[in-house]
């Protein structure tokens, strides 16, 4: 059987409203998530035993990880399918920065689940795989489906949003990790608001969506910037780019994004920013 490959796309929180910590240890949230056309790439081959090799520019950040989310997801699927240890050789081409607010680990796990299902011809639909993904992390189901969606609860209550238009964008990471736990602790030290879900835009044309997003926010942005000022530098540099219409941090950081009218404008802005900050990770994309 030939090797199968799949993109694990970057997840972007177009807005993120977070409520105060609840008794179960989780924060309620409301978000509209979209997925980029850039991400990590997973390849799976049949083999005698289960193994994972990590390559790519960010492979070093995962070095020494014995409990990678990909392996946890594959083993959980194996248990559900009654397979003690799937015989598979998995290669993860790590193109996304780690601890970046892009859902990279969860997206990798979701792509791996689909690849294993297809390789072994297992009788699991996407909803069944999403239940396994949920056991790996709260954002597991959204990253497995990799579709624009409203996310509520812990991020696991999803309503898909087919009306979201393609949004030309630029993803920018200043090369610093952002610890989700530390950001949430800093958020808790402030005065948390409510995880409110705003009414959807009256018009789903891209300019109207951008105007609507201007009225939303990311509640984790300020605490993340306080902990890692480089995120603030990335926000300021990205906002100053010609044609940038909306600039915001994704998730708990450290990646920020800007929306543009056209893909050509996003690509030109990316070239400008890369020349100014050659050590930053900068990728033009389309969010869908």
Active site residues: 11, 139
Q: Is 166 within 8 Å of 14 (Cβ atoms)?
A: no
Angle 149-259-191 from CA coordinates, rounded to 5° = 65
Of 259, 88, 236, nearest in space to 174 by CA: 236
Phi, psi of 259 (to 5 degrees): -100, 145
DSSP string, the chain: ---EEEEEEEEEEEEEEE-PPPTTS---EEEEEEEEEEEEEEEEEE-SS-EEEEESTTGGGGTT-SS-HHHHHHHHHHHHHT-SS--EEEEEE--SPSSSSS-HHHHHHHHHHHHHHHHHT-S--HHHHHHHHHHH-TTHHHHHHTS-EEEETTTTEEEE-TTPPPEEEEEEE-S----HHHHHHHHHTS-------PPPPS--SHHHHHHHHHT--BTTHHHHHHH-HHHHHHHHHHHTSTT--EEEE-TTSS-EEEE-SSHHHHHHHHHHHHHH-TTSEEEEEEE-
Beta bridge partners, 218, equal: 16
In whole angstroms, give the CA distance from residue 147 to residue 4.
21
């Amino acid at each position: 059987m030939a090797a199968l490959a799949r993109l694990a796309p970057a997840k972007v929180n177009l807005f993120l409203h977070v409520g105060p910590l609840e008794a179960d240890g989780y924060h309620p949230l409301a978000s509209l998530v979209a997925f980029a056309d850039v991400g990590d790439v997973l390849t799976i081959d049949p083999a005698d035993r289960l193994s994972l090799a990590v390559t790519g520019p960010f492979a070093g950040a995962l070095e020494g990880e014995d409990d990678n989310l990909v392996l946890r997801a594959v083993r959980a699927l194996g248990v559900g399918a009654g397979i003690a240890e799937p015989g598979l050789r998995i290669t993860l081409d790590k193109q996304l920065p780690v601890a970046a607010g892009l859902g990279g680990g969860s997206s990798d796990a979701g792509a791996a689940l689909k690849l294993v299902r297809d390789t072994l011809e297992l009788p699991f639909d996407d909803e069944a795989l999403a239940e396994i993904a949920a056991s790996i992390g709260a954002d597991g189901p959204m990253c497995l489906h990799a579709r624009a969606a409203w996310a509520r609860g812990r991020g696991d209550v999803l309503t898909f949003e087919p009306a979201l238009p393609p949004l030309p964008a630029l993803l920018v990471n200043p090369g610093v990790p952002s610890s989700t736990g530390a950001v949430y602790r800093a958020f808790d030290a402030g005065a948390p608001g409510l995880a409110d879900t705003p009414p959807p835009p009256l018009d789903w044309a891209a300019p109207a969506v951008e105007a609507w997003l201007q009225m939303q926010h990311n509640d984790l942005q300020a605490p993340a910037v306080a902990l890692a000022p480089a995120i603030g530098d990335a926000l300021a540099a990205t906002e100053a780019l010609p044609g940038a219409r909306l600039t915001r941090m994704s998730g708990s950081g450290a990646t920020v994004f800007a929306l543009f009218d056209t893909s050509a404008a996003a690509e030109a802005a990316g070239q400008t920013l890369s020349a100014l900050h050659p050590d930053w990770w900068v990728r033009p994309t389309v969010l869908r």
